[in-house]
Amino acid sequence: MATRVGDILTRVPGRLTLDGTAKEAIETARNRIAFGGAVFALAFTVIVVRLFDVTVFQEPREAQPPRVAQTQRPEMERADIVDRNGALLATSLVQASLYANPRQVLDPAETAAKLAQTLPGINERDLAQRLAGERSFVWVRRNLTPRQQDAVIRLGLPGVHFQREERRVYPHGELTGHIVGFTDIDKNGLMGAEQAFDESLKSRNEPVQLSIDIRAQHVLREEVAAAMKEFGAIGGAAMLMDVETGEMHAMVSLPDFDPNVRAEASPENRFNRLTLGTYEPGSAFKTFTAAMTLDYGTGNIGTAYDATRPISISRFRIDDYKPQRRVMNMSEVFMHSSNIGSVRMAESVGRDRQREFLRRVGLLQAPQFELPEIGGPQFPAQWREINMMTISFGHGISVSPLALAASTSAIVNGGIYRAPTILRRTPGERVAGERVISQRTSEQMRRLMRLVVDKGTAKSANVPGYLVGGKTGTAEKIVNGAYKKDARISSFVGAFPMNSPKFLVYMMLDEPKGNKSTYGYATAGWVVAPSIQRIVQRIAALYGIEPVDETAPTVRDQVFVNVAVR
């Protein structure tokens, strides 16, 4: 034993020391102990962190809202909608939605009370009942504002959590409400373009581009709103359409609504008067009576028609609003908007061909259009002689303003009917269409429509240098199957410039009232035509359409009638 200890220990003055072998063994043991301790400490730390993560930061799988388990896409779930120039009409913003796991809520009544105080509109009693249930997931409030989210966070309520969601927003509000429409809370399109292109918006990343020009939209809305206010109308509408492509550059229906707060909009405000509403067009329909007479060759712009006395048929009497009591040529019949003369033209064509012509130009069926809010025409099932007569001047048949505009576009653009569209065409794209009248008929109709603005019932729509042409229409409204006295739809449909039409313009007022400036009249020539003048002036400047010299021989040859009128 003494020898063994001596091998290990070495005497040093004042102390004993270990030799090299012993020292190496002890160091090895110490390192192994330290390494083992570190491994155990790391494993313990991982377990603690994981437990803390599971219990504090994460919900049980069954408590997760439905979309958490789905694969998250880096892009938005619904594409944007933009106007023809790229201006944003609809987009999605990320917002927080509030939900709760009732199994983690400590006091349902207290939690419901605090949330109801923080988030107005929450039913405290209902929420308390839901928080006391056995479910592991209940929605509390969708799409919170950042301020609301911060207020809920400050409450520090157990079992209350946030979920990332998208909210659809509409930067221009009521300006494009009827066009763009809106989605439900789950981003399903319910109206307008949101519904029309729902699947496309869900499956693509690039925006859906509409034909609408937000600048033109603003012009039309401003003018319609001003006219409604001036003449006390209960509603109004206007549209601007490219006669060569069928693109809608602007569509306004008032009253309107803000799709951002659609719950506050009444059914009346959501009603689209341009696409869904149908009305008797009144004298605006005489455009088609004249066109069919010219196209069938039963008359020309100089043909005479006897308008010396009213027409009596059965118990009905047809007369003019301002009787001329003379024989008039077609140009004068159209310029003075003679009901009697229009009946005579229809008689020359016949009821069967009249019906066929109206079908051909798209007035006896709902127009093809992307928006889902579309109204179909109403017309007699039995097309009798009296129907032929009244329809010749726009009574006894109801069509939507959209249908009227699309058909009138074919009358002025050279005779080609092109379906209206809310989608932007590619510049230079050749748009297919169907010939419905001859080129010559279209040229003659442009002359007659220019005459109405130059010398007829729509002189207030004239804009020097821009050759506006069109037709006014005033018709009594039908309410509960009967005409309502002193309740009118006053409208104008036309185009400019008539030597080479670019845009069709339409406007209507629902139940306008005459005032001192109109001498009490509420007909279209008084209450709508002045607005058309301002619209044309503003749109021409917006699109850089240059005025022409109306006295130039080439211009006169293109747009002026070559028969005497008085």
Q: Where are the alpha helices (DSSP H) in 314-458?
A: 330-336, 339-349, 351-360, 385-392, 401-412, 439-455
d(CA 205, CA 187): 15
Cα–chain center distance at 523: 29
Q: 416-472: per-residue pLDDT in tens?
A: 999 999 999 998 888 889 999 999 999 999 999 999 999 999 999 999 999 999 999
d(CA 87, CA 176): 12
Give the closest residue to 224 by CA, choosing from 503, 523, 491, 509: 509
d(CA 523, CA 231): 11
Among residues 283, 331, 392, 407, the one annotated as catalytic is 283
Indicate if 283 belongs to the active site.
yes
Q: Is the CB of residue 231 less than 8 Å from the CB of residue 514?
A: yes
Mean residue pLDDT across the chain: 89
77 DSSP assignment = S
**Residue 102, phi then psi, degrees to nearest 5:** -55, -25
**Residue 127, phi then psi, degrees to nearest 5:** -65, -40
How high is the pLDDT of residue 423?
97
How high is the pLDDT of residue 71?
35
Q: Is the CB of residue 392 less than 8 Å from the CB of residue 293?
A: no
How many residues are listed for the chain in this entry?
A: 566
Residue 11 pLDDT > 60: no
Q: 433: Cβ–Cβ under 8 A, 6 or more apart, which residues?
A: 246, 410, 416, 417, 418, 419
Alpha-carbon torsion, ordered 167, 168, 169, 174, to 10 deg: -140
Give the confidence band of 50 by pLDDT, cuts at 50, 70, 90. Answer: low
Q: 341-388: per-residue pLDDT in tens?
A: 999 999 999 999 999 999 999 999 999 999 999 999 999 999 999 999
Q: Rounded to the nearest 10 degrees, what angle do helices 339-349 and 351-360 cross at?
A: 100
